[in-house]
Amino acid sequence: MPPPKITTLAEMAARVPDGASLALGGSFLHRGPFAFVRELIRQRKTDLEIIKQSPGYDLDILCRAGCVAKARAGIVAMEGNFGLAPWYRRAVERKQIVLEEHACMTLTAGLRAAAFGVPFQPVGGVHGSDLPSLNAWAAVKDPYGSGQEVWVIPAIQPDIAVIHVNDANELGDARVYGTYNWDRIMSRAAKQVFIVAETLAPVRSFTDRPELTLIPSFMVQAVAVVPHGAWPGSCWPLYEVDYPAVEAYMDMDRELSLHMAHAPERQERVDA
Amino acid sequence: MPDHWSGFSYLVTNLARFIRPDEVTFSGVNSTPPMLACLLAKRAYDFDFVYLNVAGGVQPAPSTIPISSSDPVLSEGSTAIFANEDFYDLCTRGGMDLCFLGAAQVDGRGRTNVSVIGDWHNPKVRLPGGGGGAVMLPTAQRAVTWRTEHSTRTLVETLDFVTAAGGLAGVVTPVAVFVKREERLALQSWHPDASLDEVRQRTGFDFVATGAATTPRPSVDEVAALQALDPDGQFERDAHIALR
């Protein structure tokens, strides 16, 4: 019998060693594994490497709490009307974290290399950008003679991909409603996959429509059920961004603990 | 028609005017003006085009207009989810006709910086970073950007960092529209309340202005479409766009 995959948020976060590399699902304020990120902060994790094409709140709050050593990212912002991610910005400007700046698709190319089991992966475009010299990326000439030069990105294999989904089942299968952003390739690239789900759904609902499953159970090591866990972001179609909460988070004079105290996973812990 | 053409309306309307019939057009993250431009074009123009967005929407009909241009509501009414890898791959294989991309600085060759103000390794301001530009700007058939501030610090002779190259097809600011001509940005038109002299003074790079004139005022349909998208002026207020 394999060990049961359903666990608590606290136990799931406890499995993350200091220094681990984490790919985080979702995009900007939408369907990010934000309850999980806050649990990392409560457990005072350090030296994490965060991998995500378009992080925002998640990378920012981890920088704010001093949990991050390195970020590999395409575009970092709070989005909406909030603009730049302030604590991330400060952490980079003060050299408290190392940034590996990507385009969203170069980061994806690195993840594709890991997912495909090859050491590097070609990516379209990038010509004329300063990013390759910054990152010491190589270009290769088409060995089949077209004369084209293509940039190639070394493999990026996260230790753990953490994906916030709408539904999971007790076996570990997971599905998302609306766009799955970059989550599919993250789940295929990472060594392990942790799922945070809004709802525990019957296995039968998955066998009825297997084509809706984004991540199959055999690839998943742990599942935590955390309703509203993408707060203060959105989880389509269940809830929208909590803009007043994001605005309060952005107040640089306000204690982080006040924001953390409003997190829905805290309420549930108290209730339980 | 209003006598005063606000910088916000000028920006959104002129972004919409880059959209052409039957083409595949994309709006992305952090991109409220292009999101509104695509939705405006759907309402104001009597032609169809394929509207894709970063929320996976394919010809969506969102029930509300979101603050965040990557909000999943932008896939409402869509018949498919065309997710991030799909639209990037479409772009790099040449299938994206028009792509709207953000920028902090733009140079006269239509290259962009969204990475940093100052030296990359010793940043004065760390900006959002690479995003779509480095891959989409050189591979989209046409890429267009916008700046809500028209000044010598946003339209520059020398970028602090070249995030993306490949030559923008167009740049829209609150007072001017630039288009690509012979690998350089050339002035196409300027705001009726501005002048060629003013645009030159406020632009950090040299440009040709042959044939440039004042921008045609918004049509009744364009005005009505923007009014319908922003009935109480919230987007306009949030954008904080001044002509000067």
Residue A259 belongs to some domain of the structure: yes
- The answer to whether position A253 is within a domain reads yes
Q: Is residue A152 part of a domain?
A: no
Determine the pLDDT at residue A80.
83
Domain assignment of residue A80, yes or no: yes
Residue in chain B nearest A78 by alpha carbon: B30
- pLDDT at res. B1: 45
DSSP letters for B178-192: EEEETTEEEEEEE-T
pLDDT at B193 over 90: yes
Residue A74 belongs to a domain: yes
pLDDT digits (tens, 9 = 90+) for B167-192: 999 999 999 999 999 999 999 999 99
Predicted local distance difference test score (pLDDT) of residue B130: 84
CB < 8 Å to B129, chain A:
73-76, 99, 101-102
Is A129 within a domain?
no
Whether chain A has a CB inside 8 Å of the CB on B72: the answer is: yes
| CATH code (residue A80) | 3.40.1080.10
B117 touches chain A (CB under 8 A): no
Q: Given this model, what pLDDT does residue A272 score?
A: 42
Could A81 and B67 be called an inter-chain contact, meaning their C-beta atoms sit closer than 8 Å?
Answer: yes
- In angstroms, the separation between the Cα of residue B196 and the nearest Cα of chain A is 31
For residue B90, is pLDDT > 90?
A: yes
Residue in chain A closest to B167 (alpha carbons) equals A128
- Domain B7-233 is of which CATH architecture? 3-Layer(aba) Sandwich (3.40)
Q: Which of A92, A126, A181 sits opposite B84 (nearest CB)?
A: A181
* pLDDT at residue number A8: 96
**Tally of domains within chain A:** 1
| Burial of residue A1, with CB atoms counted within 10 A of its CB: 0-12 exposed, 13-18 middle, 19 or more buried | exposed
- Tell me which residue range forms the domain holding A226: 18-103+157-271
* Sign of the four-CA dihedral A80, A104, A197, A207: positive
Give pLDDT < 70 ranges for chain A. 1-3, 267-272
Question: What is the average pLDDT across B118-144?
Answer: 96
pLDDT at position A269 is: 54
